[in-house]
Amino acid sequence: MSQATAPAAPPAPERPLPTPTRESQPYWDGLREGRFLLQHCSSCGKVRHYPRPVCSHCFSMESEFKEAPLGGSLHAWTVCHHPFNFFFKASAPYIVALVDMDAGVRVNAQLHGIPEAELKIGRRVKLGFEPVNKEVTLPVFVAE
């Protein structure tokens, strides 16, 4: 048998994962449970995203997370060809869609199952859930 051994393959690049803050933890917990939770002001009721400590409309610091509808319409998109992070090299090109959620905020997520040629502003999509490990689930858009 040959003594020559192939050089060890470099470790596969790791997916960049979110580091939740005290404010955003409930949002990520919700996604892990398959629920789309958004932060609402406890005082004036206004929804806000991304999660933060103060309601910029009434300045209340009290808030609660409530389940929100999953539908939305396409606001803008890009097709990422150059993977600025090594992890995404294998899956490029991929579409990242910015969606006006019916809940009144926007969400940016990868869009799966709709070809680039069919994208147009206002096209309906639905938020889905893509578990990436035991701790983290990311949002993903699919056809409604």
Partner 1 sequence: MVHPLRDKAAVSGIGETAYTRGTTKSGLALQLEASLKALDDAGIDPRDVDGVIPYFPGGAIAEDFIANLGLKDLTLSAFIPMGGATCVAAIQMAAMAVTTGVCKHVLISVGRTGYSGSRVSTRLQQFPVFAQAAEFELPIGMFAPAQLYAQGARRHMELYGTTARQFAEVAVVTRQHAILNGNVVMNKPLTVEDHHASRMISDPFRLFDCSLESDGGAAVIISATDRAKDLRKPLVTIAGVAEGHPDSPASIAQRPDILEFGLVKSAPRAYAMAGVGPKDIDVAEIYDCFTFTVIRQLEILGFCKAGEGGPFVMDGRIGLGGELPINTHGGLLSQGHVVGLNHVIELTRQLRGEAGRAQVKQAETGLVTGYGDMGDGSIAILRRAA
Question: Which residues would be at the binding site for partner 1 (CB under 8 A)?
Answer: 15-21, 24, 49-50, 75-85, 87-88, 91, 93-94, 96, 98, 105-110, 116, 120-121, 132, 136, 138-139
DSSP per-residue codes, 3-18: ---PPPPPPPPPPP--
Q: How far is the CB of 1 from partner 1 (least distance, A)?
A: 43
> By C-beta, is 7 or 22 nearer to partner 1?
22
104: left (phi > 0), else alpha (psi -120 to 50), else beta? left
- Residue among 35 and 123 whose Cβ is closer to partner 1: 123
Q: Given the complex with partner 1, which of 4 and 122 has the nearer CB atom? A: 122
What CA–CA distances, in Å, run from 58 to 4, 49, 65?
70, 15, 17
Residue 125, number of CB atoms within 10 A of its CB? 26
Q: In whole angstroms, what is the distance from residue 107 CA to residue 140 CA?
A: 9
Min separation Cβ 7 and partner 1, Å: 25
Shortest distance in whole angstroms from residue 81 CB to partner 1? 4
Q: What residue has token string 């803008």?
A: 76
Residue with smaller CB distance to partner 1, 44 or 92: 92
